[in-house]
Every structure is written in structure tokens, then in C-alpha cells.
Amino acid sequence: MAISPFEERYRTEMNDVFDDQTKLNKWMAVEVALAKAHAQLGHIPKDAPGQIEAAMKKVKHERVVEIEAQIHHDLMAMVKALTEQAGDAGKYVHLGATSYDIEDTATALIFLDAIEVLEKKLDNFAAILKKMALKHKETVCVGRTHGQHAVPTTHGMKFALYYQELGRNKERLCEVKKRIAVGKMSGAVGSMATFGGDGPKIQKIVMKELGLEGAKVTNQVIQRDRHAEVMFILASIASLFEKIAKEIRNLQRTEILEISEAFSAKQVGSSTMPQKRNPHKSERVCSLARLVRANVMTALENNALEHERDLTNSANERAIFSESFIAVDYMALEITKIVDGLVFYPENIKRNLELTKGLILAERLMIHLVEKKGMGRQDAHEQVRSMAQDAFASGRHLKELVLERKLLDKKTADEIFDYSTYIGHAKNIVENAVG
């Protein structure tokens, strides 16, 4: 039975990247690369790396767990299990290395695999956002600031905004690869003392074999600012997903209902209220975003280890790395399906545009009075503000007061209060943003 919801409920292909057997394989791959470096430099027999590499395939996670139960050291348990299977070459396994030479280098490989998996999801979501932005670039709706009706905008503008932010997060994820694709083979305090005069050569050969860069300086570990940066980017992506999900939740409110999550024929909204159509998928996205953000704080605290390192990062990293990557991967899948399946309610969109009886076009009226009637900007603002307050208090349409006070003729007033023509360059902005 699963303890963590990430084992089953929120499982994605990302789980395979952080699977115990996968981690074990990455550890052993680093051990093989180290053996190859030693062989290349003449420290061990030329055929030893091949024997160690062949032994990798025989090592099972269950055996490593069995050894760990006896010695209470997971990395050394792997070393012993690999040694068992490597025959005479076993005596060269882990030669000169410390545990985190292996673990941190393997973590870099795992992070790169995880980023690759996530990038594909983000590309898929970008395509959906682009499609929705173009489809709704002229779907006029009311804009809201401070929770209040502001001026008209379009739903396409919303999706274009998300598309651009997603692009920036994709850039961040791509950029961070060069800082996380770093390993070490530098020993207990980073001095490479166990490798004698060949330390720098050993590290260079190992990293070239694995496709990584060697850290220029370390103590016992790769410094955790690198990992914290990845965690921040994951949180930034999660916050975008939450932003979108929160907008969907708000626009799905009964009183607003401009858009909603898709609702299947047999879907249940509430165990007691049969009528409910809850935006529970969007709420789930928002909930997981909180977890991912919280993990950033833990990752930052891991950077301040004592002296050449302590072990206070180790236990929590077993959770926060996999949790954050899996959570964001799951969120990416969910938000893509949510946005792609959104239901729009045109009659409600129109109703909300007209809800304040012309008040959302007060700005347009003010600008017209300045540009066409020669009023000072502040005078026009005050006059329109006063009329807007009167219209709000009386429940009358703002256009009625404008005509009553003979500020505009009817034709001009009708043009001014046509909300569908007050979206500025929204169409071009959307096209440029996603084009």
C-alpha cells in the first residue's frame, strides 16, 4: 500500500526517473566512469572497467537494501553489491572516491533526465496556450483589477500572457542545465588527495564520460545553491500553473461563470449536493503548488551546511527532489487537459460586460472628452467620476446620464459605449505574443 500520493495518485513517467533502481543504476554508472578513468591512467588493469560494467546488470536493488540493513550506509551497500558481482575487478570499485563523489554526480544525471521529461510537457502545454490565445483573441470580456470590473479585454490576452510566462520558465529551465550538469570526483573535503597527482585528470575523464562538467571547487558535496535554483524554477512553473488554475476557479464561480472546467457525464461534484460542478482539478493544481513552493525553502536551507559538510541535507533531499519534479510534472499534465477542455459561456461573458451598465467604459468617455471636447484631463476625470458615482447609486446606465447632460450626441455615445470596440491592440498583441 502506498504511503505517498506520488507513488500512485499523482504518479507520472517522472516517477521512473527517481525510482530506486534508476538511482542505483546512475550510481553504478558513475562507478564505471571512475574505473575507466583509473584504467586510462594506468592505475588499474585495462579490462577491469568492462568487468565492473558487466557486473552492473547483475546488481539488484533488493540486494543493496539487504546489505544496507546490515551496514547502515546506502552508497556503501551499492559498492559492496557491485563488488560482489565484479569478480577480480571488484577490488577496484570506488577506488579513491567518497560517497558524494558518486551521489552528487549521479544526482546531476537524474536532474538532467527529469528536466528533459518536464520540457516535453511544457512544450505540449505551450501549444495548447497558443491555440487558445489565437482562438479567443477577439473574445471580448471584462477585465478585473482588485476584484472589480476595470475595462474590456479579451480571453485571448489572458492565454497570451500565460504563454509568454511559460516561455520564460522554459528559458530558465534550459539555462539552469549548465549549472546543474556538474559533478565531482574530489574526495572527502574536495582536495582530491586520494587520487594523488592525477586528481584533476580523474575528474576530467569521469565527467567527460558522463557528459558533465567538473566542479572547479567543492568540499565534500556539490554546493546546494545549484539544486536550490532548480527547485526555485520548479516552483516558478508551479506558480504559473496555479495562476491559471486560480483564474479558472474564479471565472467558474456561480455568479460569474464565464468559463469552467469540463464536466463529464458521470462526474460527481459533491457527496451531498448533487448539483455541484466543482473546479476540483484546478483546486488540486493550486494545492500542489503550495507543496512545491514550500520545498524551495528546504532546498535553500540545505545550502548552509556546516564546515566541509554535514548530513542535514540528505534525508530531506530524498523527498523534496522527487516530490517537486513529480508534482510539477503531474500539474503540467493536469493544467494542459484543463485548459484544452475549457467550456466557455458567451452569454455570461456578455452579461458580465454589461453588468455595471456602462461604467467599464468610463475611461474611454474621459479620454474622448479630453481629445474631442477640449477638456483638461483632470476636469474630465472628475466629471466622469461624479457621473459614474451617480449612475452607480441610481442604478442607471452611464450613457443615460451622458445624454441627459448633453455631453455627447446619441451616435457618439453609442460608439463610446460599445465595449466590443474598446480592446485597443489586443488582437495584434495576442498574435505577436504567441506568433
Last residue of a domain, one of 60, 95, 130: 95
Contact 75, 99 (CB under 8 A): yes
Find the CATH number of the domain harbouring 33.
Answer: 1.10.275.10
- The mean per-residue pLDDT over the stretch 261-290 comes to 84
User: How many CA within 13 A on the CB side of residue 43?
Assistant: 22
Helices marked H in 41-73 — which ranges? Answer: 48-56, 61-71
Which pLDDT value is given to residue 278? 84
**Known catalytic residue at 287:** no
| Percent of the chain whose pLDDT exceeds 70 | 99
pLDDT in tens, 324-343: 999 999 999 999 999 999 99
Which pLDDT value is given to residue 51? 97
Do residues 208 and 132 both lie within one domain? Answer: yes
pLDDT band at 91; cut points 50, 70, 90: very high
Residue 273 lies in a domain: no
Find the CATH number of the domain harbouring 133.
Answer: 1.20.200.10
Residue 337 lies in a domain: yes
Choose among 1, 25, 5: nearest CA to 15: 5
Of 72, 73, 94, 146, which one is the catalytic site residue?
A: 146
Do residues 226 and 325 both lie within one domain? Answer: yes
Contact 110, 133 (CB under 8 A): no
Contact 258, 345 (CB under 8 A): yes
Helices marked H in 211-345 — which ranges? Answer: 225-251, 280-301, 314-340
Last residue of a domain, one of 95, 116, 142: 95
Evaluate if residue 291 carries a pLDDT over 90: yes
Q: Which residues span the domain enclosing 47?
A: 10-95
Contact 95, 118 (CB under 8 A): no
Which pLDDT value is given to residue 3? 84
Do residues 179 and 79 both lie within one domain? Answer: no
Do residues 62 and 147 both lie within one domain? Answer: no
pLDDT in tens, 3-57: 889 889 999 999 999 999 999 999 999 999 999 999 999 999 999 999 999 999 9
| Percent of the chain whose pLDDT exceeds 90 | 90
Q: To the nearest 10°, report the CA torsion of 400, 403, 408, 409.
A: 110
Residue 225 lies in a domain: yes
- The mean per-residue pLDDT over the stretch 243-247 comes to 98
Choose among 25, 16, 3, 18: nearest CA to 320: 18
**Known catalytic residue at 146:** yes
Evaluate if residue 292 carries a pLDDT over 80: yes
Last residue of a domain, one of 95, 116, 146: 95
Which pLDDT value is given to residue 26? 97
pLDDT in tens, 367-423: 998 998 888 999 989 999 999 999 999 999 999 999 999 889 999 999 999 999 999
DSSP SS3 for 141: strand
Which pLDDT value is given to residue 269? 73
Do residues 217 and 69 both lie within one domain? Answer: no
Do residues 23 and 88 both lie within one domain? Answer: yes
Choose among 251, 282, 426, 266: nearest CA to 348: 251
User: How many CA within 13 A on the CB side of residue 270?
Assistant: 7
Residue 4 lies in a domain: no
Do residues 71 and 197 both lie within one domain? Answer: no
What CA–CA distances, in Å, run from 52 to 49, 75, 168, 292?
Answer: 5, 16, 43, 38
Which pLDDT value is given to residue 283? 96
Structural domain count, the chain:
3
Do residues 75 and 193 both lie within one domain? Answer: no
Alpha carbon 360 to its chain centroid, in Å, reads 35
Mean pLDDT of the chain: 95
Most distant CA pair in the chain: distance in Å? Answer: 101
Contact 300, 227 (CB under 8 A): no
Do residues 430 and 287 both lie within one domain? Answer: yes
C-alpha cell at 127: 501549444
Residue 195 lies in a domain: yes
**Strand 140-145 to 148-154 pairing:** antiparallel
Of 270, 386, 394, 420, which one is the catalytic site residue?
A: 270
Evaluate if residue 250 carries a pLDDT over 90: yes
Do residues 378 and 336 both lie within one domain? Answer: no
Residue 246 lies in a domain: yes
Which pLDDT value is given to residue 428? 97
**Strand 259-260 to 148-154 pairing:** unpaired
Q: 182 pairs with which residues across the strands?
A: 213
Count of beta carbons in the 10 Å neighbourhood of residue 56: 17
C-alpha cell at 120: 516535453
Placement of cell 528546504 in the chain = 298
DSSP SS3 for 93: coil
Do residues 21 and 45 both lie within one domain? Answer: yes
Evaluate if residue 265 carries a pLDDT over 90: no
What CA–CA distances, in Å, run from 343 to 242, 252, 262, 312, 385?
Answer: 19, 10, 6, 48, 36
